[in-house]
Each structure stands twice: as structure tokens, then as C-alpha cells.
Chains A and B, each alone.
Chain A
Amino acid sequence: MAVFELRSPLTAEERQHKRKLILRDMLALLGLFAITAALAVATYFLFNSFSRRRQALAERWFERGESAISNGNPEQAVDAFRSALEYDPGQRETEIKLAMALSAAGRSEEAISYFNTLLESEPGNGLINLELARLAVKQRNESRAVEYYRRALDGTWQGDGYERRRMVRLELARYLIGQKDYSKARTQLLVAAGNAPDDPKIKLDIAGLMEQAEDPGNALEIYRNIAERKPCPVEALEGAGRVAFALGRFKLAREYLERVVSRPDFMSQPESVQSSNHELLAATVQVLDLFPGVELPARERAMRVLHAAEVAKGRLQACSLSRPTPPPSLADLATKWQQIPAKLSPLALERDPQMEQMIMNLVFDTEKQTATACGSPGGEDKLLLKIAQSPVGVEMQ
């Protein structure tokens, strides 16, 4: 067996050569080790200088990208951010800026592709979802835009996430308003209003959007809240006056609009704003001058009722004559007017509040029906029609 085999003994000369061989192998290995060590040191210095250079280049290109963006040159920014990423790959901030630069440069397809890839590693990133929503808006893809906006709202945000989410919500509301999807927009605005901090500027913004989303009621609430502050911004008073007018709450509108025009800073507002407020106030005053309010003296109220009846009858007559075959609704109205005593004195009317009410109802019906049959009226008929929309609200505070 091999275990019991004895090796043939080496001669003295062979032993000497064996020692030489071992020595030479050791020296060769030592030499190899020295070469390896020297190469390691050289590589270390080479690599370190290279790494520092890469880092410097990454920073330089990032700064160039940022300045290109601020100078409105997104194409240059794309190249700069790409270069920055080449020298320092995986920098999230640079990646997002690159994608935004692609989007700003109008390279939507590339931007979407890049944002989608960034999203894969961070599906809950609010900023990426927001940018994708904006790109979907550009591409007129409403369902995807809304979906990405919602994901952005539910996503995570760096820094003040609370504020960023509100901005996204307002952006979504604006988009929905643009799409005339007022009901969804109102929902978003109500949430935004509920979560908004006590900042008049933000609240004014929300109220303005509510007006656009055809929610004047909630807008008025917000304007009034802001208007109660001291000092209150003139925009809040303007908004409150404007919305109150739109809601038919003319007394309230006059109150706010008078406050607006009496404000010293009103004169610093743009000319167009000033004139629109003046016109609105004038129209409000005219409405209130026509309206037979319950707080008026009985005689004054009776006079206004009689005046309104004259105006309405004139409108009915003019409308009926303008149509070759008047619609039956106008004939009905004419019949009803015939049932009203032709010569009613203010005194008689003062004593018959029911008659007053009946006449005013007939006035409102006449204005509404003639507006339907003959189009929008002008002059006092227009003001009476406005009152007819919500007679209860005219003097409501």
C-alpha cells in the first residue's frame, strides 16, 4: 500500500538543489508580493484621483443644470443633468431634476418613460406622481392625470408634505375646473379649505377656486371669514361683495362693496378692478332701490310694488308683441295681470299686503317667463329678474 511505501532517499546533491528550489520559490513569491503591493498602492492613488475628479465633475454639471433651468434652457439642463448622473449615478435629486428638465424641454415621451422608471423604485413618491400627472394633462389624458394627482396626494413628500399636498389638491381642483368637472373640483376644494392653515392668502386662493367651481355659497363663507379679520385684505371684501351679488344677497353685497370702495388701498387696485367694483356696487344699489323690502315704510314699499308691476307689464307686452304667436305661458300671465285691478292706489295696496305679495310674485313670474321666451332683458327688467332668482336673499345678511 502506498502508505507503507518509502520514498527513495535524496542524495546530498539533490537535497541541496531542493533547498535552492525552495529558496528560489520563496524569493519569487516575495517578489510577486512586492509587485502586488506596489501595484496596489499605484492603483489606489490612481483610483482616488479619479474618484475625486468624478465627484467634482458631477457637482459641476449639476450646478450647470440648475442654472440652465433657471435661465429657461431645459435642453441644456437635460445634457447637464445627464452628465452629472454619469459621474455620480443614482442621485435621486439629479434624477428627478433630469426628468423635470426633459418634461420642460417638451420631450414628454422620454420624461414619462424616465418618471415611470423612477416611480418603480419609489411608487409612493409624491413629486414623481405629480410630474406624471402634469405630463398626462399635457397629453390630454384626463383619467391618468386624475389618477396620478390622487397618487401624488397620497404619496410621500420631502419637507413640508402638508403644504405640498394642499398645492397638489389645488392644482387638481384647477384641472377639474378646466375640465368643467365642478362637482369633483368642489370636493377637493372643500377638503383643501378644511385643512388650510389660517392664512388669508391661501384661503383667498381657495375661495377664488370655489367661485370658479360654481360654489359661491362656500366661497362667500370663506370671504366673510377673512373679511372679519383686522386688517382684512381688500380682495376678501371684493370677493364677498362679488359672491353675495351672484347669490342675490344684494344687501350684503352692498355692505361689502361699500367697504371696498371706501378703503384707502382700493385706489391702488388696477383700474379694471376698480371699475368692476363700482359697476357692481351701482347695480346692487339699483336692485335694492327697486326691491320692496319689508323694512321699508308701507307707502314706499307700495310705490315700489306698483313700479315693479308697471315695469313687468311693459316687459310682457313688449315680449308678446315681439312674437308672432306668443307661447301659452305668456297668455296665462296676461290673464293673471288682467285679474289685478287696473287702478290700484298706493294707499289701497298699503292696506292689502296679500295683494302686494301677489303682485310681486306675478312680477317675478313675468320676468322669468319673458326671459325664457324673449331672451335676457335689460334695464330695470334685468334687475327685477335678478331679484326674482332669490327674492328671499336680497336682504339676507
Chain B
Amino acid sequence: MKADSFVESSEQIDPVPGFELQKIAPTREERLFLVLSIFIGVLSGLLVVSFRVAIEWIRILTLGSAPHPGQYRLLLAPALAGLGVALLVRWLFPGAVGSGVNQTKAALYIYNGYISFRTVIGKFVTSAIAIGSGHSLGPEDPSLQIGAGVASMVARRLRLSRQSLRLFAPIGAAAGLAAAFNAPISAILFVIEEVIGRWSAAVLGSVVLSAISSVVVARWFWGFEPIFRIPQVTLRDPRELTAYAVLGVAGGVVALIFSKALGYLRPRLRSLARWTHFFQPGLAGLMVGAIGFFGFPQVMGPGYGVIDQAMHGQFAWKLLIALALLKLLATTLSFSSGTPGGMFAPTLFIGAMLGAAVGSFEKHYFPHLTGTVGAYALTGMGVLFAGFLRAPLTSVFMVMEVSGNYSIVLPVILANTIAYLLSRSLQPVPIFEIFTHQDGLDLPSMEEQREESVLHIEDALRSLDVPVVSGREPIEALSATISFDDTPAFLVQLWDGSWYAMSKDELTAAAATMTGSTPIERALKPDRAPLLFPDLPLDTALRYFSRWPLLPVLNRANKNKLEGVITLEDVLRRYQNS
């Protein structure tokens, strides 16, 4: 994405020049937000359906209705399409390069939610050509970017504020992904896990609304069946969890190989002379085509049909392993060459083959165990999703959502967790972050954000080392007591249970203006110390130090009981030491 896009976006946001929008229509954006979320969902759904149909049409036209080894078109179609796509991407649609997830994140964090119409068109056209002609890439990530682009366009058309524009990108992304997956929950979770990074009440409602709208549209066309036909899934024998654990380990290792392969090849190809970028997609297409030509056309394209076949036990375990490894190779070639297209479908493909291989192996050598090949394939998909894309929560929900079966949750959680932990320990930097660094961007790492340890008040808490007095105590007696103490402030407990942190200066001023027998509570200002508890985030306390010299920290069960006190120095010291 070019930097001038941002300039363009800034200029557009001025709905009523010269007038304060907040004054003349204070609830406008709030009302429009929900209505537009539905529009974005419907539009994204329609575009994603058209996108998928376009891919299928192109596939039939270029590779034929049943590609099989030995057909020269398997070599020619992806190679020529690669050349064509490279020209389009370099000359017409520079924003269409890559998978779509990072571009959407960049739009959100760098370009204020701006994705140009040209990028959306480019993504649609170039991805459809590349994927349809056999490049080993998937349509989900482009769908996510198309959805985000639609949202951005709609928000710009309504001339919403920059803040709203930024919020619309993840809403559209969720809609696009939900329609592509036919699974709204997974899409919402993925966008929260991988794009937004944390649960945000401001957009959650709109994200849900748009995702559901897009799925309704997609299902109107594709039907209510999940994206994959899931065979019966059961877990009758707990010993089978061992096999699922093995699958988790295998998934973690394969995720590592996949990440390493992409991390190695992509920057090397990008660093080659600029003129080679025009040929890289074509050459990658030729190599992917060669894999198909010499015996494995299954690795070409997104491979949903092959996932379905593997899930229904059509392949022997040796062939499944071969397909997983060849798909890994083909995807590395296609993606590293800069061909537009996504990583989701290949990830699911490799995972499904790996899972089905484990399942078929078990069926063959341990026929007394009851696990089905379909269950293993399904779990394998989740395993690689967790291990490679590093979206553990989405991976679990995705498997449940696409299977419509809750009984698989135990093996999925087990296998996904193993794969995720193994992958994380072997490859600390997630794949999307690797791509971000390769692209020269510095986007927030969602995994790091998730695991950031937030400091709490208890981390800076000091034991009670200041005097605590009752509000009824006379000023004179109090002055005598406090004057011997070297603390700059003390705490006053009032009759209604509230607290006041009084400085020595305030006490001195009160003693000078009031009689000695006056209770100290009469000398207090009307405000009271805030209610702070040990579990609150530490930054909560910061805002009060301009008013209070120190703050009492109370027990949640008994507000008369003090857990300790904190001062600004305590807080700053804690942050400096963290």
C-alpha cells in the first residue's frame, strides 16, 4: 500500500465543512454504524461468492474439468497465469500482492482503515486468476481483504470520521472471512485474535452483525452445509487421545518446516533484481504445474475437493503424507513468488492430509481403535491452523464450527495445544509477523499483545506506613501526633466508610484557620479518595496523583480494611523495573 493513500483518506473525511458534526448530528455515526455493518456483510458475502465462483470457472477453463497427470495444460496454465498476474500486480494493482491479512492489519494500524477500490478489484482479479489456474494458494485471506476493502469504501462513501473508518476495516475483514469459510464464529475470533488483537466492545457488535450478514448471503447460495462434508466424528476410546497427541506433535513440526521454508525463500526471492519479479510467479506456477504434471495434480489450487476426499478416506496414508509435503512445497513456491493468494486453504490442506495420514495409519495398523479418518483430518486442519497461523482459539472453534460436532472438542484442544506450544517454542516469531518484518513494516504482534503481562496495583503496593486517623479527631490532637511523624501525608477514615488522603500542608492550613477542637472531617475538601483495589490495572491509579499525595488501597470484601497505600513514586518505580 502506498503512503499517498493515507493522504487521500485524510482529505475525504469532512462531512459538513465548517460545521461541528458533533453539534449538528451527535448520534449520526453511532446509528450508521450498525446499518452499514449489515450492508458491508451483505456486499462482502456477495463479492466472496462471486470470487469463489470466478475461481472455479477459471479453474475449469484453464485446467479442465478433471485435471490429471500428463496434461500439458497443467504446466502451461499456472505458468502463463503467473506471468499475467505479475504484470497486473506490478503495473496496475500493487496493493494486491500477498495474502491479505497483513495488508488489512496495515490498513488498520498505518493507513487509518484505508483500502483503495483499486486494491479490492486487483485482489479479486489477480487472486482469482492465480488460484483458479492452479497456484497453490487459497481464497480466504483475499476474501478477508476484499471484505475489509468493501468496508473501507462504504465508510468513505458515507464520509465517516477517521476513527470510524479505522474501525470498519476489521468489520469488513470478519465479513469476508466469514463468507469464505461459511463459519461466522471462527471469522470473528480470527479477526479479534489476529487483526484487532484484543476484545474491543466498540466493534464487537458490528463485527458480529457483518459476519452473520455475510454468512447468510453465502449460505443462500452455497446452502447451509458446512464448507466440508464432515463424516461421523466420535471419540469412544480415550486411548485414542495418544494418537491425537502424536498428530499435535507432527502438526507442530510441520508448521515449523512450513514457516521456515517461507521465512527462507520469500525474502530471498524479494531481494532478487526487480525485473525478476515479473517472472517469479510464472516460474513458481511452472514448478507447481510440474508437481501436478508428474503425478500430483491434487496440490494445485486451494484443494477443497482433495480435503473432502481425504476426509472421506479416499487416500492411503503414504499418498496423504506425499500430498502434505508436496503442498507445502507448492505453497512455499507460489506464496514466496509474490503471487496473490492466501495461506488459509493450503494450511488446512496440509493439516487435513497430515491428520488423515495419522488416521489411516491407525485404521490400518490398529483396526480395533474406533477413530475415524475424517475426525483425524478435521483435527489435523485445526492443528496446523494453531501451529502455523498461531490462532489457537480460532483453530478450536473453526473445527467445531465446520464439523458441527462438539464431541471432537477434546482431541482438538489437546492436539491444537500441543501443536501451538511446540510451534511457539521452536519458532518464537509467528508467520504473519515474519511477513510483516520482511515487508519492512512494524505492525503490532497479536501474539505478544495477548501475552503481555499487565501490571496491577498490587505490584506497586506498599504496606501501610502512614498514620490512619478517624475523621472525628480534633485538629489540635492530630497536629500534635502528625508533627512527630515524617510522612508527608496521612489517611483519614470518615464516618461513611470513605477515605481521604490529607497532606501535612493541608493539616497545617486547617490548624491555622480553625479552632483546635474542630474535628478534622470539617477541614476536608468535598471530594474523597478513589476506591482502588489491588487487582486493578496499575495505570488506573496514575490519573489520581495530580490530586492526591498518596492513595489508599482497599479490600474488596471490606472497604474499611486497608491493603496498603501507593504513591506516584511507587508506581513509576514499578514501571521502570518491569
Contact = CB atoms under 8 A, between A and B. Distances in A.
Interface stretch (A29-37, A166-174, A176-184): A29-37
A10 interface: yes
Interface in A227-285: none
A387 interface: no
B158 A121 contact: no
Given A109-B316, A117-B313, A57 B65 contact: yes
A113 B311 CA distance: 11
B12 to A, nearest CB: 13
A53 interface: yes
B46 A110 contact: no
Does more than half of chain A's interface fall in helix, strand or loop, or is it mixed? helix
Given A61-B65, A110-B316, A116-B313, A36 B24 contact: no
Interface string B42-57: 1100110110011011
A44 B473 CA distance: 82
B32 interface: yes
Main secondary structure, interface of B, reads helix
Given A113-B314, A114-B314, A50 B305 contact: no
Interface string A15-37: 10110111001001101110110
A42 interface: yes
Contacts of B308: 86, 89
A83 interface: yes
Contacts, number: 127
A18 B25 contact: yes
Contacts of B232: 120-121
A46 B23 CA distance: 46
A95 B312 contact: yes
Contacts of A50: 53, 56-57
B46 A21 contact: no
B314 A14 contact: no
A92 to B, nearest CB: 12
Interface in A88-121: 89-90, 95, 98, 102, 107, 109-110, 112-114, 116-118, 120-121
A14 B374 contact: no
Contacts of A83: 65-66
Contacts of A113: 313-316, 360, 363-364, 373
Nearest to A78: B314
A347 B28 CA distance: 136
Contact of B50 (A18, A43, A98): A43
Interface in B364-383: 364, 372-374
Interface string B25-50: 10010001001000100110011011
Nearest to B69: A79
Interface in B202-244: 221, 229, 231-232
Given A32-B154, A98-B314, A114-B314, A89 B229 contact: yes
B373 A116 contact: yes
Contacts of B66: 61, 79-80, 82-83, 86
Nearest to A86: B305
B157 interface: yes
A18 to B, nearest CB: 4
A39 B46 contact: yes
B221 A47 contact: yes
A50 B372 CA distance: 33
Contact of B314 (A22, A32, A80, A110): A110
A82 B69 CA distance: 14
A397 interface: no
B470 interface: no
B316 A117 contact: no
10 contacts: A8-B23, A15-B24, A18-B24, A32-B43, A50-B53, A85-B305, A89-B305, A110-B319, A113-B314, A114-B314
Interface of B: 15-16, 19, 23-25, 28, 32, 35, 39, 42-43, 46-47, 49-50, 53-54, 56-57, 60, 65-66, 68, 154, 157-158, 221, 229, 231-232, 305, 308-309, 312-316, 319, 360, 363-364, 372-374
